[in-house]
Structure 1
Amino acid sequence: MPVKESRPCFFTPPPPDKADLFRPPIAAVASATVTTSSWYVFLEEDAESFESLETKGLFLHRWHLVASQHVEAGRQAAEARARELADSHVPQHVAKRLEPRGRPHRSVFRMQDGTWLVRVRYGYAKTHFRVSMGELVRTEEEVEGGLKEESYAPRGGLRGLFGI
C-alpha cells in the first residue's frame, strides 16, 4: 500500500535551487514503515485554567490527552472500547467530589466524525471529555541529527554569554 504524502494547503513549493533543503534525510525516509491496521482509542479531557489578563479573569479551555490505548482486535473492537469509555469514565475533576456510592449525571453524544463527546456533572462540578479512535497508518523511528563540526565550538566566558 503506497504512502501518500500530504501537505498543508498553504504550502508553496521551494525554488529549484532550494529544493534539497526541504527533502527529509535519506536515513529518515528509510526508517519509515507502514503498518497493517493498528487501532487506538484516545481519551481527552477538558483542561480548564484561569488566567488573569490585565484586570479581567479568563477561564481557558483546551483538550488534554489523558490516555491512549492500543486495541488488538480491529476497528469494531476499538469502537466498542470507545463507547465503553464514554459510558464509564469519570474525569478527575468530578471524581474527587464524588460520594462513595454517588454517580454523576452523564450526557453522551456521538459526533458526526465518530467521536464521543460526554458532559459530566456532579453537584457544582461539571466538565466534559471526548473519546476518539484512530488507525495508526505510519510510524517513523527517531533519527538523531549530529551537529556540524564547524558549528560546535565550546564557548566560555563572554563568548558563551553573548553568543559571539
Structure 2
Amino acid sequence: MGISILRGDITKQRVDAIVNAANSSLYGGGGVDGAIHRAGGPAILEACRDLRASKYGRGLATGQAVATTAGKLEARWVIHTVGPVYSTDEDRSDLLASCYRESLKVADELGAASIAFPAVSAGVYGWPADSAARIAVETVRTAGTRVADLRFVLFNDEVYQAFAAAAG
C-alpha cells in the first residue's frame, strides 16, 4: 500500500472512497463533515437519513464506520466515521485507531482500491496533531487492507507537518 501525505481539500480527491470525520448524527456539521456534505450535495444527507431510519437510530457509535453514496464528489463512496473527542482524563487512542481500521474494513468490503482520509478528531474534537498523526499512520500501516492508494489529505499546515513527520 502506498501512503501519501497531501495538503489540500479532501472533497477534490479522485479516489474510490473519501472518509468523512462525521458526528454521530450523520447529518453533517462543521469542518470536514460540513465540507463533504456541501460538496457532495443532498444525496449524501438523504443516504445518511436512510441509515439513521433503518440501522443507526441512535446514531453511529464512536470508532465505527459506514458508507454512503458520494453524491457529486469525484469519489464513489463516502465512508463516515465518528472520532472521539480528545480527553486529558481518559485515553481514547483505541477509539481513534478504530476509526481508521473500521474505515479500511468498509473500504475492503466495497472493493475500494483508493481512499482519502482527513485527520480524524484533530479539528474541533481537539486531538493534538502529533498524537493524531502518529495513531493514524501506525494504524493504517498495520491494518492489513487491500487498499493500494491511501492518502491523508490535510487542510492546514500544522496537521500536514504532523502527518509528514509521522509518516517519516
Quick check: TM above 0.5? Answer: no
Q: Could you say which structure has the greater relative contact order, defined with CA pairs below 8 angstroms and 6 or more residues apart?
A: 2
Compute the TM-score of the two structures, normalised by the length of structure 2: 0.23
Compute the TM-score of the two structures, normalised by the length of structure 1: 0.23
Higher strand share: 1
